[in-house]
Amino acid sequence: MIKALKRLVAPSGLCHAVKIRRGETMQRIVPNVWCQGNADDAGSFYAAILPDASAEVVASYPTENIPDFQRELAGKTLVVDVSVSGYRIRLINAGSEYRPTPALSFIVNMDPLLFDGGEEEARARIARMWGAFLDGGEERMPLGEYPHSKLYGWVEDRFGVNWQLMLTDPAGEPRPLIIPQFLFTGPAPQAQAAIDFYTALLPDSALGMFIAGPEETGGVLFAEFTLAGQWFSAMDAGAGHDFSFTPGLSLEVDCTEQEQIDALWDALSTVPEAEQCGWLVDQFGVSWQIVPENMGSLMQHPGAYQRMLSMKKIIIADL
């Protein structure tokens, strides 16, 4: 599966700091994983498996005036925040409607320079993570040596989240521990158009490494770029895959004011029937949540949760 990587020659819910080895920046974009009633279990699992990780319940469902379809979740966990060396991944405790797919995955860059034991320790940590993720999960690319890494593997864990574990070259450019990756499937390449669109839309964004695909197929073999100061990756996988983007893994953008919410909503939303509670789907099929950065405190207002459920775009003044 995901044949393009083998040719690589270089490296919801409701609705922040990401550590990079060359400084810190606020994490405005937070990946959200849709969990099927098991966010607490997933949070504990990731806190035990990922490097320098912890999990914290940051929101619960109301106990009263909750819609019938959420009745069984009343009073239970709504949001679990997982911190991986300062990088936040948010788990949304919900129903069985959605599940993550390989279209959005997490690259875990294990740099030998981060560990006292160097490459030996980095390899051992990758092996431990691999074994844990594979328990109840699915191997997508075997753990082994590839042209782009001396040790690499792609695995889907028991919760449906996809991880690319990579031993990075300590002589190369330093990379964050966690980098989300877009994988565009379908007959026509989309990665380049998506990168151009996203980097033009969000401030503090830029294209970094870019490797074009073979001339006969076109598209992007591998690209790295920043959005709002955060690292992302993208590639075209071509046709022949039975998955695409879903709300199972969405990207939450925290906004400081209503004007930012309005601008991003107008630019991104292209599927009217998908608009609800700050959620939208863009022209490439990617799900986003455009929310106020103080959403947690706004939800403490009496009746705010119920008012939020009736909204499409979030209107801060009405919460």
Residue-wise pLDDT tens digits, 271-303? 999 999 999 999 999 999 999 999 989 988 999
Average pLDDT over residues 262-273: 98
Token pair recorded at residue 271: 């599927």
Return d(Cα 290, Cα 155) in angstroms, integer.
29
Percent residues over pLDDT 90 in the chain? 80
Total residues belonging to the chain: 319
For position 66, what pLDDT does the model report? 84
Given a cut of 90, is residue 68 above it in pLDDT? no
Return d(Cα 50, Cα 3) in angstroms, integer.
26
Strands 162-167 and 104-110: parallel
**Residue whose entry in the numeric block shows the structure tokens 């069984």:** 72
Q: Which of 2-6, 54-58, 80-84 has the lowest mean pLDDT?
A: 2-6
Residue 249: pLDDT band with limits 50, 70, 90:
very high
For helices 39-49 and 118-134, give the axis angle rounded to 10 degrees.
160
Average pLDDT over residues 122-144: 98
Q: Which of 130-144, 196-210, 300-314 has the lowest mean pLDDT?
A: 300-314
Average pLDDT over residues 164-181: 95
Q: Which of 13-17, 68-72, 175-179, 281-285 has the lowest mean pLDDT?
A: 13-17
Token pair recorded at residue 244: 């695409």
Helices (H), 135-256: 191-201
Residue 25: pLDDT band with limits 50, 70, 90:
low
**Residue whose entry in the numeric block shows the structure tokens 């969405």:** 250
Q: Which of 12, 76, 15 is nearest to 311 (CA)?
A: 15
Given a cut of 80, is residue 20 above it in pLDDT? no
- Pick 145 or 11 by higher pLDDT: 145
E strand or H helix at 131, and its extent?
Answer: helix 118-134
Average pLDDT over the chain, rounded to whole? Answer: 90
Cα-Cα-Cα-Cα dihedral sign, residues 171, 112, 228, 189: positive
- Pick 250 or 25 by higher pLDDT: 250
Average pLDDT over residues 22-51: 90
What helix, strand, coil percent values describe the chain, rounded to 5?
25, 35, 40
Return d(Cα 107, Cα 233) in angstroms, integer.
9
Token pair recorded at residue 3: 């044949």
Q: Which of 22-26, 130-134, 267-271 has the lowest mean pLDDT?
A: 22-26
Burial call 278-292: b when 16+ CB within 10 Å, e when fewer: bbbbbebbbbbbbbb
